[in-house]
Structure 1
Amino acid sequence: MKIITSTQNAFIKEILQLKEKSRLRKKTGDFVLEGLREIALAFKGNYTIETLLFYPDICDINTLENILSYTSETPELIEISKEVYQKIAYRETTEGIVGIAKSKELTLDNLNFKREHPLILVAEAPEKPGNIGALLRTADAANLDAVIIANPKTDMYNPNIIRSSVGCIFTNNVATGSTEEIISFLKSKSIAINCAALTASIPYQTQDFTRPTAIVVGTEATGLSDDWLQNSEQNIIIPMQGEIDSMNVSVAAAILIFEAKRQRKFH
């Protein structure tokens, strides 16, 4: 088994570059993930993990064998020193294991819905990886048919998205595209577009979400673009009873999604 003890090792430097540079992730098709849960979910999501680096004082052989039970593949195993682990890990509480995996093409054409009447979350131009991660966690909790990110500001394999989603990037049916492409896609599938917006809106709980539905949310700062509002079948609003007129996008999305799930009797 290969052992790496130097933080100056060329492969370790490449891992650090992969974590920091979206352009390199796109060029190589590789990304970095860490933690037992995240790696297990990636295997369950049929992601190819080519390399696992582990610090044996935290991740022992039994733990390593357990994580490998989630896959029939045989990733390269590399033992690393404490110094190397501290260099490449975001935090020391990720169970002493880091993986290098191959990304998937997150295209609209690759989406396959679980249900005849799909329920989809669309988020336009979310900027903060933490918000994207929270949206993905909510989508996983609700077992949505898909999460579509319109005009993404960062690639979906940004380590901050993987970390904040606690691996739910791997458990969700995810796609990205331009607003125009996504609107065309939804219409071609006869999926009703319901936009969370302040104007021409009805209270969210009065809308019928039992049909094939896309719930579309924008950013707190700018809301949704005109293209979405012009193509919305019905705008919906969460009535505010305080002094402000909006809430965090992931919180708003969760309220709307679980109202839709309630109407569908959580199916």
Structure 2
Amino acid sequence: MYATKHISSVQNSLVKRILLLKDKSRERKKTGLFILEGKRELGLAVKAGYAIETLCYCEDLLNVDQLENLIPLEATVNRIGLSLDVYKKVAYRDTTEGVIAIVKAKSHELSDLKLEKEKPFIIVAEAPEKPGNIGALLRTADAANLDAVLIANPKTDLYNPNIIRSSVGCVFSRRVAMGSTAEIIAYLKENKATIYCAALSASENYTKVDYTKTTAIVVGTEATGLSEEWLANADKNIIIPMEGEIDSMNVSVSAAILIFEGKRQRNEK
């Protein structure tokens, strides 16, 4: 397999297109495309059925035939070789693996999400803003093999390069859907999910509730917590007892603790 084109100028139109997709959420939404960097991330995207439009690789860092051995790609994918200077211009990471792809986004409409297991286990995050927290949450969801990740009132688009990087590609390995808080509450009730909201008040110790049925754990931001709409619709509020001076933890850490308690109960049943 050979590259169909080689680029050595940073003024090339494709280079400008990559930079625009990398930096501008509006451009990603308008075109339905995003930028993906890294071998593992590319492999997970291909495995999950994402369509690769263009594959760019640095000819000084990676032989495209070696990449093909690692990640088989459709014959219709454009292969483009980049000089080292051009690759450094478009690469997002300080340390990199020599591959960048333009990829077609998938739909993440809540209406498209079909829960296939008999008693699915779901994590819901309301209004997460920091891409790093979203990425960490997706990594935890992958590690626990959760059935879905729902994001209520999203503040950033799912294909933000920071989310892809911090999730180490787990954004592709999990089923993710987005919607308003009201839409997600209605969806969970329609699917007869028990809703456990992480909250500081009127809460029960997180180890004392039952996660073995269809379950949704809902977490909010560290700064503001969950909205009243969630708390009013919770089957129960749950809390992680804190023994130090502060009363909250990073949202991705809290979610991990709650998720793996649920996994422990499910594995024991």
1:196 to 184, 195, 198: 198
Q: 5 Å matches for 1:2-21?
A: 2-21=5-24
Contact residue 125 and residue 152 of structure 2 kept, 8 A:
yes
Contact residue 53 and residue 77 of structure 2 kept, 8 A:
yes
Q: Identify the residue that residue 30 of structure 1 maps to in structure 2.
A: 33
Change (3 A) 1:220 1:125: same
1:170 to 165, 169, 172: 172
2:55 to 52, 55, 59: 52
Letter in 2 for 1:238: I
CA shift for structure 1 position 14: 1.1
Q: Identify the residue that residue 117 of structure 1 maps to in structure 2.
A: 119
Task: Give ranges in structure 2 of 5+ residues lacking alignment.
Answer: none
Q: Secondary structure at the match of 1:3?
A: strand
Contact residue 129 and residue 155 of structure 2 kept, 8 A:
yes
Letter in 1 for 2:112: N
Change (3 A) 1:67 1:74: farther
Cα distance in structure 2, aligned partners of 1:73 and 1:225: 48
Q: Identify the residue that residue 252 of structure 1 maps to in structure 2.
A: 254
Cα distance in structure 2, aligned partners of 1:136 and 1:66: 28
Q: Secondary structure at the match of 2:81?
A: strand
CA shift for structure 1 position 72: 4.2
TM-score, normalising length: structure 2: 0.96
TM-score, normalising length: structure 1: 0.97
Q: Secondary structure at the match of 2:223?
A: coil
Contact residue 203 and residue 237 of structure 2 kept, 8 A:
yes
Letter in 1 for 2:79: L
Letter in 2 for 1:201: S
Letter in 1 for 2:101: G
Identical amino acids, percent of aligned pairs: 62
Per-residue CA deviation, residues 190-214 of structure 1 (Å, 9 max, x unaligned), is: 0111000011100000000001000
Q: Secondary structure at the match of 2:156?
A: coil
Letter in 2 for 1:236: I
Contact residue 6 and residue 80 of structure 2 kept, 8 A:
yes
Per-residue CA deviation, residues 39-81 of structure 1 (Å, 9 max, x unaligned), is: 0000011000110000122111332212442x44531000000
Per-residue CA deviation, residues 66-118 of structure 1 (Å, 9 max, x unaligned), is: 2442x445310000001110011112532100000000110112213242100
Contact residue 51 and residue 76 of structure 1 kept, 8 A:
yes
Q: Secondary structure at the match of 1:264?
A: helix
Per-residue CA deviation, residues 3-32 of structure 1 (Å, 9 max, x unaligned), is: 111111111111101111111100000000
1:149 to 124, 148, 151: 151
2:129 to 127, 139, 146: 127
Contact residue 36 and residue 94 of structure 1 kept, 8 A:
no
Contact residue 222 and residue 249 of structure 2 kept, 8 A:
yes
- Pairs aligned (count): 266
Cα distance in structure 1, aligned partners of 2:49 and 2:228: 37
